């Protein structure tokens, strides 16, 4: 009986390091495949307006890059998912990319232009203090906007406001 318990205990101690090794190896491979890209961590948040239950975008759309609001390949400032709804356009998740050239604190914003807010309304924002590199953040907007004309993303000192226009 003692031999069986020792064998089980030894097997458990061998499995745990193997699992940790596999996890570390996976993280290392991901870090090599995407150098310089990080997921931003929020320091404070704000949101305007309530989310609509069931408002999930299904059609992807790319927001063109502008200034420091860009991914590493400069192919996009971000992207979002949207779909038409009887009362307007549902905007689901909005993803924003921002490049930092030096350590700085910036507030990232999603601004929506609609019939109700022709001058724009900030519907989501996060403030980040980050070092040099590229970062992205996913904003869960999940709201229906009547007369939607544009969805824009920006960050402090980003030299422009990239927008996706709806017509």
> First-to-last CA distance in the chain?
76
pLDDT band at 41 (very low <50, low <70, confident <90, very high): very low
Residues 158 and 98: their CA atoms lie apart, in Å, by 8
Dihedrals phi, psi of 2, to nearest 5 degrees: -60, -40
> Which of 41-50, 71-80, 113-122, 146-155 has the lowest average pLDDT?
41-50
Of all residues in the chain, the percent with pLDDT exceeding 70 is 68
Task: Name residue, tokens 């992207």.
Answer: 79
- Torsion sign across C-alpha atoms 25, 72, 65, 98: positive
For residues 26 and 100, which has the higher predicted lDDT (pLDDT)? 100
Q: Following CA atoms 73, 67, 142, 87 in sequence, which dihedral angle do they give, to the nearest 10 degrees?
A: -120
> Which of 91-95, 148-152, 155-159 has the lowest average pLDDT?
155-159
Q: Which two tokens stand for residue 148?
A: 């939607």
CATH architecture assignment, domain 38-165: Sandwich (2.60)
Q: Over 90: is that where the pLDDT of 114 sits?
A: yes
């Amino acid at each position: 009986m003692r031999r069986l318990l020792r064998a089980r205990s030894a097997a458990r101690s061998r499995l745990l390091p193997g699992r940790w090794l596999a996890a570390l190896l996976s993280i290392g491979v991901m870090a090599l495949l995407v150098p310089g890209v990080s997921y931003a961590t929020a320091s404070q948040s704000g949101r305007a307006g309530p989310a609509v239950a069931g408002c999930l975008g299904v059609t992807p759309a790319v927001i063109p890059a502008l200034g420091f609001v860009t991914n590493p390949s400069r192919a996009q400032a971000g992207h979002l998912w949207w779909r038409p709804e009887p009362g307007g356009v549902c905007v689901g998740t909005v993803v924003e990319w921002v490049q930092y050239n030096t350590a700085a604190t910036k507030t990232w914003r999603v601004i929506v232009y609609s019939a109700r807010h022709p001058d724009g309304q900030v519907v989501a924002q996060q403030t980040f203090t980050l070092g040099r590199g590229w970062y992205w953040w996913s904003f869960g907007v999940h709201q229906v906007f009547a007369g939607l004309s544009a969805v824009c993303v920006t960050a402090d000192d980003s030299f422009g406001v990239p927008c996706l226009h709806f017509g």
